[in-house]
Amino acid sequence: MDIFEIFFSPEMFKHVHKETNRYAKQQINKKKQEGSLSPKSVFALWNTVSLQEIKKFFAIIMHMSMLHKSSLWNYRSSRLIIHTPYAASVGMSRDRFLAILTMFHLNNNNAKTATGQPGYDPLFKIGPVIDTLITKFQDVCTLEEQLTIDEAICPFRGRIFFCVYIKGKPHKYRMKMFELCEAKSGCVYNLDVYTGAHPTNSEHNTAFSVVDRLCDKIKGKGHCVYMDRWFSSPKIFDHLWGCKTKAVGTVMSNRKEMPKQAFSEKLKKGEKNIMPMGSLLGHQVERHS
């Protein structure tokens, strides 16, 4: 619990508590104005959720993530073949859990900018949690010299326009993220969620922009960043070297600005070819067979 609260602080629980009650009030008022508030609906029977109930709700959700069942109802089933007592032992009824799940919210909908308008944020609804987690990661993670940048996935089948589908993967539907991690421990230091094409900046999702954003707070501190061929390019290596940050990465021979002469000869086993590259000549192409 002490470790969990380092990342998900008491302040975050209070934020979730406030926004869940706010959303419930907004929805109930909306249905009253529309005249569609059914007397037996979850909205009509809603009671203000307490901070303690939010914590119990999270406990049940975390338990559900470790024990997968085919439906929400099965977590409360008394059938011996699928019965698990934990959810009931927490002290929250099934109907109350489902009511909180219906109202659960992380941000104020009234402050959301409409799609297509300046300032629109696809991650608005979960923005406070992501921002808090990144801040906590950077407060807690002790960086050594070697860091890595790579893609990460979060399996997800919800209705969001930036969910990606990749055939042949164990989790075909997913949210894609880019992460900067401390190489030795694997601790995440910074992350960037892929949200599709940027409405005003066509360069937002390029490899150069992604690496530049992830490395923003480590520039000039002598770190060395390792990356794969999608991120690597003379342009980003040149940029990082100018910011006093080293970089190592696999490369594609046909990548723009890559020196063609470095790939002109086929190497034999055990051979390597080293060639300076970039306008600052502070880095090099090193080919190994």
Structural domains of the chain, with CATH: 2-111 (no CATH), 124-288 (3.30.420)
Q: What is the 3-state secondary structure (H, E, C) of 219-274?
A: CCCCCEEEECCCCCCHHHHHHHHHCCCEEEECCCCCCCCCCHHHHCCCCCCCCEEE
pLDDT at residue number 281: 45
The model's pTM is 0.83
pLDDT at residue number 100: 97
Residue 270 DSSP one-character state = T
Beta bridge partners of 176: 153
For the chain, list residues with pLDDT below 50: 279-282
Which residue in 271, 268, 276, 273 sits closest to 287, CA to CA? 273
CB 226 within 8 A of CB 248: yes
Cα 23 to its chain centre, rounded Å, is: 24
CB 262 within 8 A of CB 251: no
Question: What is the number of other CB atoms lying within 10 angstroms of the CB of residue 226?
Answer: 18
d(CA 284, CA 31): 64
pLDDT at residue number 205: 85
186: left (phi over 0), alpha (psi -120 to 50) or beta: left
Tell me the CA end-to-end span of the chain in Å, nearest whole number.
49
Torsion angle (degrees, nearest 10) of CA 4, 7, 12, 13: 0
How many alpha carbons lie under 13 Å from residue 279 in its C-beta half-sphere? 7
